Amino acid sequence: MLNKKRRKFLNLLPYTLVGGFSYPVVKFFLFNDKPEIKMLIPLKELKEGITYIEKSKIFIYKNSQNIDIYNAHCTHMGCILNFNKDTKQFNCPCHKSRFDIDGTRLRGPAKRDLDKIAFKIKNKTLQVG
């Protein structure tokens, strides 16, 4: 009786091991929660013009009346845009799309304007996400 139970257990063991080892592999490849962009930036720390936040891949555009936040990825194929201070335009180094400082598309192959990111201003602090 004990032998039978032991055999049954031993028969199940390889499946358990395979299942156990495959769990982290499957989890690693198939599930990947996207971390939300969450940031707090005191308004006084923001300079006028464009500020690039490398960690979150966003551009913050501040002028005397307004603040806008753009996703720094090109809307064509997702390359990170460069901001040209002289022309005040965003340039895509991959396929040469161009966007104005307010995120408007100026030249393709991108077909739409830059994606804007929602934010709030509370207690003189910019809250992203």
Residue numbers of the site for other proteins (CB under 8 A)?
28-35, 73, 76-80, 82, 91, 93-96, 108-109
Q: Provide the minimum distance between the beta carbon of 77 and other proteins in the complex, in angstroms, as a whole number.
A: 4
Distance of CA 48 to the CA centre of its chain: 24
- Of 63 and 82, which has the nearer Cβ to other proteins? 82
Distance CA 65, CA 69 (A): 14
79 residue type, one letter: C
By beta-carbon proximity to other proteins, the closer residue of 42 and 93 is 93
Closer to other proteins by Cβ: residue 4 or 111 = 111
Distance separating alpha carbons of residues 109 and 127, to the nearest angstrom: 32
Residue 39's CB is within 10 A of a number of other CB atoms, namely 17
